[in-house]
Amino acid sequence: MNEKYEKMWEDLGLDISAHDGLLKVLGQFYGDIYLSQDKRLKGMEYLDFVLSEVHGLRIKELQDARAAGKKIIGTFCMFVPEELICAANSTAVGLCAGAEIGKEAAEKILPRNTCALIKSFVGFKLAKLCPYVESCDLVIGETTCDGKKKAYEIFQEYVPMHIMELPQMKGACDRDLYMTEVLKFKAKIEEVSGHDITADNLKEAIKLINNRRKALQRLNQLRKAIPTPISGRDVLLINQISFYDDPWRFTAKINELCDELEKRVQAGEGIVENDIPRLMMSGCPMAVPNWKLPYVVESSGAVIVGEESCIGTRNTRDLVDETGETMEKMINALVDRYMRIDCACFTPNPERLEHIVEMAKDLKVNGVIHYALQFCHPYTIEAYKVEKALEQENIPLLRIETDYSMEDIEQLKTRVEAFVEMVK
């Protein structure tokens, strides 16, 4: 696709030759990890297409939308209420943060001991390799963790940002604080987009985003079948793409894929044999193209049947109540929904432990792999409580701490294979 989009990438200020190199590596990587899979669903062709055009056609669409007056709002976190962005006739996109790119440049302004995700989004910007961030009229940060909170202060020197403060507990004053932040965010989006958010357009936006969540909930219901009809890698990819793709089209395509899955489940067809160990991933988000660990797991004789993560069920579990007709009721419904998120940034965070145990039982998994990015204090420390909670249910846990480099892949394989052998 390179020739077709070169002018656009140049206009966006990308480093063309480095970007060509990135796409080449990404293509090979995708081929090895995704296209090599057996018994893949026909519906995955759409996802393959989207991924192959993730820096091409989708960026073209964003540029066309901008030319037509829409604003593009970049986000890093599921705490940002996308409904308000859509209601203001704007488009929300997740930003590149899943590859070890621009690491050296990032480490000039951030400590080496910063998690790979943060170094990645800073690195993508400094190395001029993320067409999404270059397409943004505004980027939204949030105070979920110390690393992001403080890194945004520096990142703001490079991109226009708005920072949402998040509370750290879930009491009444925390809800008040988050409500204030949602209202500030609404005002900011209205200002940047030049569009008023009304009860009518917000109602539509709530439905739109709920429908995407419902499609992903349906997918998660179907994959529970034994044998599972879809690989964990594919579901991760679907979740990843949900942050980039047009929500109307994406929802329709995922529902089509679910129709196909339904038939497969009815026919008792799986992508693996019945006796292959079923594992669940739990922990930090895996941003595109961070497929390292799922690939290791699914090449070690196991299959992934659940992702307890922001790029997974944490993002799709809760719907926004759709019954409100007034702005006040709808904003309250948004605040209620987002305050239910069980991110490790909260203290205490018992809901996450309950969700993990519940999911592990519901999915009938043989074990859980807790995945944390190195230097991510919230998830690496909370892993201790996750382990205790699963221990009480006799569900084995493997704790993995890693980053985006490929240096530890053999070591990961050894550990995962031993775990799979143990839980068989």
Q: DSSP letter at 312? A: T
114 binds a second copy (CB under 8 A): yes
Residue (100 or 165) nearer to a second copy, CB: 165
282 binds a second copy (CB under 8 A): no
Cis peptide before 285 (omega within 30 of 0): no
# binding residues, a second copy (CB under 8 A)? 44
102 binds a second copy (CB under 8 A): no
Cis peptide before 348 (omega within 30 of 0): yes
366 binds a second copy (CB under 8 A): no
Among residues 89, 91, 120, 143, which is the contact residue for a second copy, using CB under 8 A?
Answer: 143
Q: How far is CA 288 from CA 244, 283, 374, in A?
A: 10, 16, 18
Nearest distance, CB of residue 160 and a second copy, angstroms: 15
CB under 8 A: which stretch of 26-34, 52-60, 79-87, 346-354 binds a second copy? 346-354
- For the chain, the C-alpha Rg in angstroms (whole number) is 21
Sort 326 into a burial class: Cβ within 10 Å, 0-12 / 13-18 / 19+. exposed
390 binds a second copy (CB under 8 A): no
Could you tell me which residues come within 8 angstroms of residue 181 by beta carbon, excluding any fewer than 6 positions away?
Answer: 164, 165, 166
3-state class percentages of the chain: helix first, strand second, coil last, to nearest 5:
55, 10, 35
151 binds a second copy (CB under 8 A): yes
Two tokens at 332? 């309250």
- Are 240 and 336 in contact, with CB atoms under 8 Å apart? no
Q: How far apart are CA 61 and CA 69, in angstroms?
A: 12
Could you tell me which residues come within 8 angstroms of residue 174 by beta carbon, excluding any fewer than 6 positions away?
Answer: 167, 168, 339
Residue with tokens 């030759």: 17
Residue 219's CB is within 10 A of a number of other CB atoms, namely: 20
Nearest distance, CB of residue 407 and a second copy, angstroms: 17
Among residues 401, 408, 413, 415, which is the contact residue for a second copy, using CB under 8 A?
Answer: 401
150 binds a second copy (CB under 8 A): yes
405 binds a second copy (CB under 8 A): no
336 binds a second copy (CB under 8 A): no
CB under 8 A: which stretch of 64-72, 203-211, 236-244, 382-390 binds a second copy? 382-390
Nearest distance, CB of residue 277 and a second copy, angstroms: 27
Give which of 347, 242, 229 is closest to 285, Cα–Cα: 242
Residue (124 or 346) nearer to a second copy, CB: 346
Residue (63 or 374) nearer to a second copy, CB: 374
CB under 8 A: which stretch of 70-78, 292-300, 347-355, 356-364 binds a second copy? 347-355
Q: DSSP letter at 323? A: -
Nearest distance, CB of residue 3 and a second copy, angstroms: 39
Residue with tokens 């939308």: 65
In the three-class reduction of DSSP (H, G, I as helix; E, B as strand; rest coil), residue 330 is classed as: helix
Nearest distance, CB of residue 134 and a second copy, angstroms: 23
Two tokens at 248? 């109307």
- Are 357 and 363 in contact, with CB atoms under 8 Å apart? no
378 binds a second copy (CB under 8 A): yes
User: Quick one: CA dihedral 13, 19, 20, 26, positive or negative?
Assistant: negative
Give which of 340, 368, 338, 341 is closest to 356, Cα–Cα: 368
178-217 residues in contact with a second copy (CB under 8 A) are: 180-181
147 binds a second copy (CB under 8 A): yes
Mask for 155-174, x = binds a second copy (CB under 8 A):
--------x-xxxxx-x-xx
145 binds a second copy (CB under 8 A): yes
CB under 8 A: which stretch of 44-52, 283-291, 328-336, 340-348 binds a second copy? 340-348
Residue (35 or 381) nearer to a second copy, CB: 381
Residues that bind a second copy (CB under 8 A): 109-111, 113-114, 143, 145-147, 149-154, 163, 165-169, 171, 173-174, 176-177, 180-181, 344-345, 347-349, 374-375, 377-378, 380-385, 401
